[in-house]
């Protein structure tokens, strides 16, 4: 298969709808010309929001505050358990409180450059614009951001930036932000603006006459499959990093909502753009089922190094400075230990592959705080990172105040996702995607502390403005209810699918197949990819998928709690996604950000883009065969920034 065999012309559905005019004016132009819904008419519209993380909770609360009827769905017992709560380090905003030269324009530039010029200028500039509002919003909600001695909000730095623009709440920023959004959601639940359906998992999207009409869910406590109709559906269901099995994501994170929407006609964009986070606790053994993130904020004061000698056996504190390789400071002196995630991860991998890794399995590098402790004192370091140090010690059994942490890259975030336009609408009218579930803002690599920024931007400040464009034309028009035959048909399909998992009665658990699938994708579509490996994965995954269909064992029944059955459905979708990821990586014959094809690299081992052939978004259309999706392109144009080779030297 050659690259040209999978190329196609730009599809008419891929209209980004970015307003014309100067970049700085596009968002204001959009808001000035958007269709509006009268306040008294808003209550005539129902909006379904799936997911209650930062994007989902903020969208549901804000839409209800505006007057829309909102039904919010989560498969957790509480909306507070959404995975946004696990984010540690901080949230970016172009406030320039430090007076160090930050601005909306600089945040925009850093984000485009960090994403290796594979994202839309219009969407990214809007993200930078509304970032300044997010902090005011969350402070007003009582989020306890860190403050300086005088009471002003504090900032720290994250990778890919030379300014301090990251606001934080110790090492639990995601938790505090989610509690802020959750209290607004809870307020609307109490007022009757939002109905919350917990322990309900989306198992399909219903499309009638080319428009999203609602969803079908499965109650995780009773197994009951039911339909829910609405004028618009918002998917805020996070990313698909768990396709690798081992990741920093919570065990229940999955792609099912986005994938089921994809199967109903929503294009899936850039699935091979996945992010490997450089600071995670290394895998301890082959039976491990979860990896743990250590916040990127630690690289503000921690220095990353490995022994220069691959045969080094001395403990870290006995290795003198002249025998240490502070490789990020050596390779990228301008950014040092705060080089972007994709670059830092590959640098660590190269050294571990050369045998310079540390730890019992020699599968990590050191993150050393001794210099910071000597310079600032232990108390200051403890104030900044105390809870992270405690978490590391509980897991690794080592005290990072006394010995360096051991870290290694791990799957963390996915830049790919459902294709959306400037209004966050997918290729299915009436179906929107927010936060990590969409592809829109981060290109081929996300900068640290920008996920929380995007989730809250989409939920609080973008979707509430854009959704009225789709709803206004529907005023006083009838829309299909759950008694429509299509709802009944999709319900029946869902019941049959879950019963089919039970009926296989094989010998292997869903976890077995998930682990084996994850190994294939990690080995051939992980931190490094090449043509031979990707072609091997594309042949191996369907074979394993066939085995899954014939030898899956799901114990119990579909009535009542059955976590094995839940997992079977999610793994099924991961198989299909995995095929598409590998095909996307194979057809993108360049290196860009987190997508590193070893055939396309500079003499110094950095990513080598091909702007002539691949300066576009690859958006995939479901054809009924996961291995034969149709590839469409949305061309990316850069009117403000000039395409340039990234350099963090």
Per-residue pLDDT of 87-104, as tens digits, reads 988 999 999 999 999 999
Long-range contacts of 327-331 (CB under 8 A, 24+ apart): 327/351, 328/304, 329/303, 331/649
Write the secondary structure of 113-165 as one string of H (helix), E (strand) and C (coil).
HHCCCCCCHHHHHHHHHHHHHHHHHHHHCCCCCCECCCCCECCECCCCCCCCC
Quick one: tokens of 452? Answer: 């929380």
Name the strands in the sheet holding 225-229, side by side, starting at the edge strand that comes first in the sequence.
Answer: 200-208, 211-219, 225-229
pLDDT at 171: 85
Domains annotated for the chain, with CATH where assigned, are 277-412 (3.90.700.10), 485-608 (1.20.58.100)
Distance CA 562, CA 564 (A): 5
Distance CA 65, CA 510 (A): 41
Average pLDDT of span 206-231: 98
CB 460 within 8 A of CB 58: yes
CB atoms < 10 A from the CB of 218, how many?
25
Left (φ > 0), alpha (ψ -120 to 50) or beta: where does 259 sit?
alpha
Tokens 């290796």 correspond to what residue? Answer: 116
pLDDT at 3: 37
Distance CA 16, CA 633 (A): 11
Element spanning 564, H or E: helix 563-587
The sign of the dihedral angle between the CA atoms of 562, 563, 564, 567 is positive
**Alpha carbon 294 to chain centroid, angstroms:** 17
Residue 341 appears among annotated catalytic residues: yes
Which residues share a beta bridge with 368?
Answer: 303
List C-alpha distances in Å: 595 to 18, 172, 346: 26, 29, 11
Q: Is 234 helix (H, G, I), strand (E, B) or coil?
A: strand
DSSP state of 457: I
Q: Which of 593, 587, 631, 577 is nearest to 254 (CA)?
A: 577
CB 418 within 8 A of CB 262: yes
pLDDT at 2: 37
Distance CA 231, CA 104 (A): 35
Per-residue pLDDT of 3-54, as tens digits, reads 333 444 457 789 999 999 999 999 999 999 999 999 999 999 999 999 999 9
DSSP state of 458: I
pLDDT band at 170 (very low <50, low <70, confident <90, very high): confident
Q: What is the pTM of this model?
A: 0.96
Average pLDDT of span 172-199: 97
Element spanning 268, H or E: strand 268-269
Per-residue pLDDT of 256-284, as tens digits, reads 999 999 999 999 999 999 999 999 999 99
Tokens 């910071």 correspond to what residue? Answer: 372
DSSP state of 195: E
- Kindly give, in sequence order, each residue whose CB lies less than 8 Å from that of residue 409, ignoring residues fewer than 6 positions away: 276, 277, 278, 280, 344, 345, 348, 349, 527
In the predicted model, is pLDDT for residue 581 greater than 90?
A: yes
* Helical H segments across 354-377, by residue range: 370-376
* Catalytic entry in 341, 406, 529, 588: 341
Element spanning 302, H or E: none
List C-alpha distances in Å: 287 to 250, 393, 452, 511, 540: 17, 21, 31, 11, 22
pLDDT at 5: 39
Quick one: tokens of 75? Answer: 């498969």
CB 300 within 8 A of CB 156: yes
Q: Is 560 helix (H, G, I), strand (E, B) or coil?
A: coil
Bridge pairing between strands 211-219 and 200-208: antiparallel
Percentage of the chain lying above the pLDDT 70 cut: 98
- Rounded to 5 degrees, φ, ψ at 531 are -60, -45
List C-alpha distances in Å: 204 to 11, 71, 174, 259: 25, 16, 29, 9
CB 303 within 8 A of CB 406: no
Percentage of the chain lying above the pLDDT 90 cut: 95
Distance CA 459, CA 461 (A): 6
pLDDT at 10: 55
- Kindly give, in sequence order, each residue whose CB lies less than 8 Å from that of residue 614, ignoring residues fewer than 6 positions away: 588, 589, 590, 592
Distance CA 92, CA 447 (A): 9
CA dihedral 449, 452, 453, 459 (to 10 degrees): 170
Left (φ > 0), alpha (ψ -120 to 50) or beta: where does 441 sit?
alpha
pLDDT band at 1 (very low <50, low <70, confident <90, very high): very low
């Amino acid at each position: 298969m050659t690259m040209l065999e999978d190329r196609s012309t730009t599809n008419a559905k891929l209209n980004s709808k970015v307003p014309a005019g100067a970049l700085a004016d596009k968002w204001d132009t959009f808001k000035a010309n958007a269709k509006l819904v009268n306040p008294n008419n808003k209550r005539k519209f129902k909006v379904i929001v799936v997911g209650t993380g930062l994007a989902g909770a903020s969208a549901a609360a804000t839409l209800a505050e505006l007057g829309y009827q909102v039904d919010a769905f989560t498969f957790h017992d509480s909306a507070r358990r959404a995975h946004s709560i696990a984010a540690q380090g901080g949230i970016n905003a172009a406030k320039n409180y430090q007076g160090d030269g930050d601005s909306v324009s600089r945040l925009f530039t850093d984000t485009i450059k960090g994403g290796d010029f594979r994202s839309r200028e219009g969407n990214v500039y809007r993200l930078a614009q509304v970032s300044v509002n997010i902090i005011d919003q969350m402070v007003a909600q009582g989020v306890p951001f860190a403050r300086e001695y005088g009471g002003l909000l504090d900032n720290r730095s994250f990778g890919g930036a030379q300014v301090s623009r990251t606001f934080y709440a110790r090492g639990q920023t995601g938790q505090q932000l989610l509690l802020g959004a959750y209290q607004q959601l809870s307020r609307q639940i109490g007022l009757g603006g939002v109905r919350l359906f917990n322990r309900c998992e989306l198992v399909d999207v219903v499309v009638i006459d080319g428009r999203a009409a609602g969803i079908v869910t499965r109650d995780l406590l009773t197994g009951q499959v039911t339909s829910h109709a609405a004028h618009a559906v918002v998917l805020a269901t996070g990313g698909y990093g768990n396709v690798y099995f081992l990741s920093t994501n919570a065990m229940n994170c999955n792609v099912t909502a986005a994938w089921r929407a994809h199967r109903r006609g929503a294009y899936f964009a850039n699935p091979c753009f996945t992010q490997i986070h450089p600071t995670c606790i290394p895998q301890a053994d082959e039976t491990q089922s979860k990896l743990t993130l250590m916040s990127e904020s630690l690289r503000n004061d921690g220095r990353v190094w490995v022994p220069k000698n691959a045969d080094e056996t001395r403990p870290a504190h006995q290795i003198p400075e002249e025998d240490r390789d502070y490789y990020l400071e050596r390779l990228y002196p301008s950014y040092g230990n705060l080089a972007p995630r994709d670059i830092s991860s590959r640098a660590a991998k190269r050294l571990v592959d050369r045998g310079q890794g540390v730890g019992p399995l020699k599968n990590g590098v050191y993150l050393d705080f001794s210099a910071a402790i000597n310079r600032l004192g232990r108390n200051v370091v403890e104030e900044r990172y105390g809870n992270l140090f405690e978490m590391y010690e509980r897991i690794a059994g080592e005290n990072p105040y006394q010995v360096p942490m051991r870290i290694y890259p791990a799957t963390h975030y996915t830049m790919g996702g459902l294709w959306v336009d400037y209004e966050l609408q997918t290729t299915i009218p009436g179906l929107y995607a927010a936060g990590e579930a969409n592809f829109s803002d981060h290109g081929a690599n996300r900068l640290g502390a920008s996920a929380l920024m995007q989730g809250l931007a989409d939920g609080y400040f973008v979707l509430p403005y854009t959704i009225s464009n789709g709803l206004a034309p529907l005023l006083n028009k009838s829309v299909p209810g759950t008694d429509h035959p299509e709802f009944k048909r999709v319900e029946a399909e869902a019941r049959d699918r879950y019963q089919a998992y039970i009926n296989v009665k094989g010998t292997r658990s869903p976890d077995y197949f998930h682990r084996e699938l994850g190994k294939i994708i990690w080995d051939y579509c992980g931190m490094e990819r090449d043509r031979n490996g990707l072609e091997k994965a594309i042949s191996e995954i369907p074979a394993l998928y066939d085995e899954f269909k014939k030898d899956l064992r799901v114990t119990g029944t579909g009535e009542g709690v059955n976590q094995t059955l839940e997992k079977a459905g999610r793994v099924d979708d991961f198989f299909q996604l995995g095929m598409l990821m590998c095909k996307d990586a194979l057809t993108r014959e360049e290196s860009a950000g987190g997508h590193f094809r070893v055939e396309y690299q500079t003499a110094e081992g950095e990513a080598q883009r091909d702007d002539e052939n691949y300066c576009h978004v690859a958006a995939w259309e479901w054809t009924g065969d996961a291995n034969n999706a149709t590839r469409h392109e949305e061309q990316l144009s850069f009117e403000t920034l000039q395409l340039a080779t990234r350099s963090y030297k």
